[in-house]
């Protein structure tokens, strides 16, 4: 199974079923080492030392993405809401982009939804939608490869 994503105006929604418990999915989104392992998807890498997670409303979430050509971009967000293990909400302070990650227990694992609102024009593209889907697919690979995994 792969992630699916849909672009609707200034919103991007990606969904994927993961064969892991919600607590493991939550841990992947809140652990710097796990974030570094999957966040770049198929289009970038994330140096583990670049990841900052201050997991509280008002806390910072930041990381560097490195493209195949070596170009590095710093991403910085501020947590708005932290409701373990079911929902994370964070904003990108410059553009106002809001990301809501919803983690729901489902038969055989977890249903994950990433909903981005107020996308800046440069992210309202099929490439951005494919990139977000690839991040969720990389998360599935990461969860499968780490201890405590469920059999697919």
Q: What b/e sequence results for 87-122 when a residue is b if at least 16 CB atoms lie within 10 Å of its CB, and e otherwise?
A: ebbbbbeeeebbbbbebeeeeebbbbebebbebeee
Kindly give the pairing relationship between strand 60-66 and strand 72-83: antiparallel
> Domain extents for the chain?
4-145
Residue 149 binned pLDDT confidence (cut-offs 50, 70, 90): very low
For 92-114, the pLDDT digits (tens) are: 999 999 999 999 999 999 999 99
What is the CATH number that goes with domain 4-145? Answer: 3.30.530.20
For 37-87, the pLDDT digits (tens) are: 999 988 899 999 999 999 999 999 999 999 999 999 999 999 999 999 999
User: Which structure tokens are listed for 96?
Assistant: 């106002």
User: Which structure tokens are listed for 67?
Assistant: 């493209």
């Amino acid at each position: 199974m792969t992630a699916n994503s849909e672009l609707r105006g200034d919103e991007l929604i990606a969904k994927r079923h993961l064969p892991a418990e919600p607590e493991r999915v939550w841990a992947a989104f809140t652990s710097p080492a796990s974030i570094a392992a999957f966040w770049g998807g198929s289009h970038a890498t994330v140096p583990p030392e670049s990841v900052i997670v201050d997991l509280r409303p008002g806390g910072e979430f930041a990381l560097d993405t490195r493209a195949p050509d070596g170009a590095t971009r710093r991403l910085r967000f501020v947590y708005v809401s932290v409701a373990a293990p079911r929902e994370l909400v964070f904003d990108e302070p410059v553009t106002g982009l809001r990301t809501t990650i919803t983690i729901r227990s489902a038969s055989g694992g977890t249903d994950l939804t990433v909903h981005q609102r107020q996308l800046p024009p440069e992210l309202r593209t099929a490439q951005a939608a494919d990139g977000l889907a690839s991040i969720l697919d990389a998360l599935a690979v990461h969860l499968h490869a780490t201890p405590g995994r469920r059999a697919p």
